[in-house]
Structure 1
Amino acid sequence: MRLLKITTAFILMLVSSFAQASSPASSYTIKGTISGLSNGTILELVPSATHQDEKPISTATVTDGKFTFKGSVPGPRFFMIKVKDIYGACNVMVANTAISITAKATLNERNGNKIYDFSDVKVSGSPIHDLYLKKVASKDSLAGLYDDYHVKSKDITDKVQQARESKDSLKADSLMKTAAWKTFEADESAFFKKVGSTYTTTVENNKDSWWGPFFMLNTLSYFTPAEKKTFESLSPTARNSYYGEIVKKELYPKSFVGLSAPTVDAKSDQNANADIIKLAAGHKYVIVDFWASWCVPCRKSIPALKQLYKEMSDKGLQIVSISIDKKEADWTKAQGEEKLPWPSFLDKGNTSPAWNIRTIPAMFLLDEKGVVVSENMSLEEIIAKIKST
């Protein structure tokens, strides 16, 4: 009888152990070691591949190069690990499991900005990350092609960049007529054709799962209406997945036309009130212009906006500029250069998502009550609409 009890207890223990081993984990732990980071460095775990300005879901303090993140995810999620307030990141696909990461971080400066370059990144303990690496192997090969043609054309591209930075348009135009520049353009065209075909193949090969919409988000920085056809080619399971819902929301955004304009949560260097209703009051037309210091098309449109403002401000036109710059210093510098004669603000991070801003420049036309009349129009279209009313 004693032997039977021991045997029964042993079987129950095995069953319990098997049940625990076979049940999915409910949380993840990411333990990492990154050389090159000083003690006290704050690391952030930030959702990636969402086309959104995401906030960190967790932070960790580096001690002797080591850090730990803990949390849970409802399904596979793509994250970047970055140093707080500094550009540069390494990526990891996370599921609820114990994950280990090792890497080397090197602090560099490019275009006046500090940036951490992460190298020798190794992720273990995450089978979904291993699968991700297999699926993006062809995409990673594109990085080599990109580096090859840029190295080959470095001399001519550096010269053109220097001419542009010194605002020597004549020299830049002359350089861009050379055989070396034409070769660079041809190589770049061929590269982007390869990118396009690789993207199409990757999404097609993953159209029946969440991987399909994930690769749409992770490959393209923004969507055009042409991507609707790609999205509709995905299976219902893929379209209704977490990443599928993100793509759907971006391709088929909620229209604000006929509704009160979304809230503006922004900072002004003149301590101006960011209440859009108050900004619109007393003005027949209000143009809300989303821009950034680094956005070349945005900056190029400013002279035309200034001319329109000069012609129409006494006829009821108001313009409100909202920068989506990440660094206040960049916005302040651009403000000083552009000297905008109308209310200008820096988004604190919540405004552009509220307005469904995906690309810039992005312009909206409001009436005197702050109701959206037109959205995502070009400046030419807005000017035509204003002058036709």
Structure 2
Amino acid sequence: MNTRIKSTFALLLLVCATVLNTFAAPKPFTLNGEIKGLPEGTKLKLVPGATHASEDPIAEATVKAGKFVLTGQLDGPRLFYVTIADAFGGYTLMLEPGKITLKGEASAVERGDSKGYEFKNMEVKGSKLQALYLQKKAPRAMLDSLHNANNIKHKEVSIRRGEAMQKKDTAAVAAITKSAEWQLLEADSKAFFAKVDTVFNKMIGDNKDTFWGPLIMLDLYSYFTDQQKPQYAQFTKAAKESHYGKILNEVLNPEGFKGKAAPLFDMKANNNAAADVASLVKGHKYVLVDFWASWCVPCRKSIPGLKTAYEELKDKGLQIVSISIDKKEADWQKAETEENLPWPSFLDNGKTSNAWKIRAIPAMFLLNDKGVVVGENMTLAQVKELMK
């Protein structure tokens, strides 16, 4: 074999090795769990975390004799939530291929009408990345402690002001707001949020060279605005091209829908009404799609304005469609009854909000009679202007 042929052959081997590495087969993992306090038959789910989307579990298990086993495949280190079916609470876990054990305790707790579990004394073996994850998230725990301390410190004045607001006692609210106690609360709050910015920026900046940076950023923030884009810009190419780097880029810079056909509608209605695009737009000039939830205060506050706009514009061809992202059907039905919505109302199963890339609510989109998106993140004023 001459030198040229040898060189060509070596190059082909290198290319093949690179391709095989790029498309490396996922590797198996086994998570053996033993959490005291979970009733026999409790169903557990392993759900991908830090994606800012509604995710289906990749594995499920049932507690038997106090133990459970979750198995699956991973193509790299991933963050997961071990959750309990039909209950709140769970544990955040950094998984990697191999055998991992999870031990701890769970105590039953209640929040209003909801039941859940509080996990404590958790111990993980077999995942070096879990220890690293906890180390990198430690500053967040410090902030949580400071926040709790501030809440305890200012609990009394907060309760007094809240009670005055409920009674609509404007004089009492004004007096409390001017008091030294309330001024101290506001000063502490301002200092706390300034500290949050400093700590978050350091946590993210210290990990700008690897997947940890984007992962931590996704894990820290509940939603994103343009203010977070400079934090993303500091990441290296490797960090941006990582699994979590790509997710973060999509969250920060989502591709818009304007001018495109409306994405998927896969929802449930109380009256079994059709949820496909054609049925929703039929007979209407425009359809305003409003994503909301029973727990979303701004969403609930916007409903009177939506009702007014609906009465003004329905004869001009406007239809409104409300889509709740509530996790529990009962919560949606209760809120729907309380609000007495005069237009079609649906409960999302997670697929619709994912397809529409919903990261925060309320979120409104306007469709024309062809089912094409003609407006994103619209205000009622913009809708009224368009329909003049």
Maintained 8 Å contact 2:44/2:84: yes
Give CA deviations for 1:280-327 in whole Å, capped at 9, x if unaligned: 122112110000011111111101100001111111111011000000
Q: Which residue of 2 aligns with 1:211?
A: 212
Distance 1:272 1:38, change over 3 A: same
Answer yes or no: is the 8 Å Cα contact 2:309–2:380 preserved in 1: no
1:168 to 1:243, Cα distance in 2 relative to 1, 3 A: same
Distance 1:152 1:198 in 2: 22
Residue 248 (structure 1) aligned with residue 249 (structure 2): yes
Distance 2:192 2:220 in 1: 14
Q: How does 1:326-345 map to 2 (within 5 A)?
A: 326-345=327-346
Q: Is the Cα–Cα contact under 8 Å of residues 326 and 347 in structure 2 kept in the other structure?
A: yes
Superposed displacement of residue 143, structure 1: 1.6
Q: Matched residues in 1 for 2:265 and 2:97: separation?
A: 37
CA distance in 2, matches of 1:277, 1:173: 50
Whether the 8 Å contact between 1:261 and 1:370 is mirrored in structure 2 is yes
Q: CA 1:278–1:108 in structure 2 vs 1: closer, same or farther (change >3 Å)? A: same
CA distance in structure 2 between the partners assigned to 1:84 and 1:212 by the alignment:
31
Tell me the percent identity: 48
Give the Å deviation of 1:252.
1.4
How does 1:155-170 map onto structure 2 within 5 Å?
A: 155-161=156-162, 167-170=166-169
Query: Match for residue 131 of structure 1?
Result: 132
Deviation at 1:372, TM superposition (A): 0.3
Instruction: Give the structure 2 partner of residue 269 of structure 1.
Output: 270
- Whether contact under 8 Å (2:94, 2:133) holds in the other structure is yes
Conservation of the 8 A alpha-carbon contact between 2:287 and 2:366: yes
1:151 partner amino acid: I
The one-letter code matched in structure 2 to 1:260 is: A
Once the two structures are superposed, residues 132-163 of structure 1 have per-residue CA deviations (whole angstroms, 9 ceiling, x without a partner) of 12212222211211111111122233444556
Runs of 5+ unmatched residues, structure 2? 1-24
**Aligned mates of 1:111, 1:184 — CA distance in 2:** 27
Residue 4 of structure 2 corresponds to none
- Separation in structure 2 between the aligned mates of residue 107 and residue 322 of structure 1, nearest angstrom: 32
Q: Point out the more displaced range, 133-142 or 317-326.
A: 133-142
User: Take 1:41 and 1:110, find their aligned partners in 2: how far apart are those partners?
Assistant: 19
Residue by residue, what CA displacement relative to the aligned partner does 1:199-236 show, whole Å, maximum 9, x if unpaired? 11111111111011101100001110122222121111
Structure 2: distance between partners of 1:176 and 1:350: 44
The 5-angstrom pairing of residues 1-389 of structure 1 reads 26-161=27-162, 167-170=166-169, 173-174=173-174, 175-387=176-388
Instruction: Give the paired residue count.
Output: 362
Residues in 1 aligned to 2:243 and 2:270: alpha-carbon distance in whole angstroms: 39
C-alpha RMSD of the superposition: 1.8
| CA gap 1:115/1:158 in 2 versus in 1, 3 angstroms | farther
- Worse overlay, 294-303 or 372-381: 372-381
TM-score (norm 1): 0.89
The CA deviation string for residues 26-78 of structure 1, in whole angstroms up to 9 with x for no partner, is 32211121111111101111111111111111111112221111122111101
Structure-2 separation of matches of 1:241 and 1:302:
41
Note if contact 2:299-2:362 (Cα within 8 Å) is conserved in structure 1.
yes
User: Is the 1:283–1:368 contact (alpha carbons within 8 Å) kept by the matching residues of 2?
Assistant: yes
Residue pair 2:150, 2:188 contacting (<8 A) in 1 also: yes
Does structure 1 retain, via aligned residues, the 8 Å contact 2:102–2:123? yes
* Paired letter, 1:203: I
Separation in 2 of the partners of 1:160 and 1:114?
29
Whole-angstrom CA distance in 2 between matches of 1:196 and 1:356: 26
Measured after TM superposition, the shift of residue 279 of structure 1 is 1.3
Letter in 1 for 2:237: P
> Contact between 2:320 and 2:343, CA under 8 Å: does it hold in 1?
yes
1:106-156 CA-to-partner distances (Å, cap 9, x unmatched) read 111114321211111121221111111221222221121111111112223
- Equivalent-residue separation in structure 2 for 1:269 and 1:220 (angstroms): 34
> Structure 1 stretches of 5 or more lacking a match?
1-23
C-alpha separation in 2, matches of 1:206 and 1:193: 21
